Chain A
């Protein structure tokens, strides 16, 4: 059974690319604005996209982000090529971070990203396999 996706956009996110980090999220925000979605939803989606995008840049070997806009929901997905998360519950805990010095110098590494993503989502799921990669899905209901 396939269901119609109103619109979808894909982004490739490179490891350690701090110069352009955030440009995919910026694009996502502009699209949601153009589609005339309500401001509080755009704000939540922007936070989710940006935290996910930064995580791909600072914690992974690279990955992809996808925006899907359906009539009743906005979905943001990320998938990366590793290294995976050993203990997902620990990663979801406020204050837990393995960010390196470079990421910390950029203002990241408070261990607030994943908890904030979950808080901003209506539905949230994360799956990770050590040595393979991490898959995250965040959904916001429209209306």
Chain B
């Protein structure tokens, strides 16, 4: 699924360069626990989270996560957005809660990271 589609499905706002919307997303992971992200995530994963601190971007950088959706209308501070841009990470923000955002994407065919 293209990030552009994710944006439309979640009626999300893009906080970084719109060119990122051509990113291809293979699967998704929704969590507010960064150590779980560090333990379970694959490349080309879309991360959905309610956390907006710089450690989310650092975690994404370490895991080669190139796109993050912030749920519940959260938006990171400018410095955090800059850190994402410097690392080529696309940021979206949706007003949906985590459960609903994940459900809507699943309904359209996007699947979770397989950890089994």
Residues of A at under 8 Å CB distance from B?
18-19, 21-23, 25-26, 29, 43, 46-47, 49-51, 54, 105-113, 116
Contact = CB atoms under 8 A, between A and B. Distances in A.
A38 B35 CA distance: 23
A45 B54 CA distance: 20
Interface string B59-90: 10111100000000000000000000000000
Q: How large is the interface on B (under 10, 10 to 19, 20 to 34, 35 or more residues)?
A: 20 to 34
Q: Could you tell me the dominant secondary structure of chain A's interface residues?
A: helix
A112 B54 contact: no
B39 A116 contact: yes
Interface of B: 32-39, 49, 51, 53-56, 58-59, 61-64
Contact of B38 (A18, A50, A106): A50
Contacts, number: 71
Contact of B53 (A18, A43, A54): A18
A106 B53 contact: yes
Contact of B51 (A21, A29, A51, A106): A106
A26 B58 contact: yes
A106 B61 contact: no
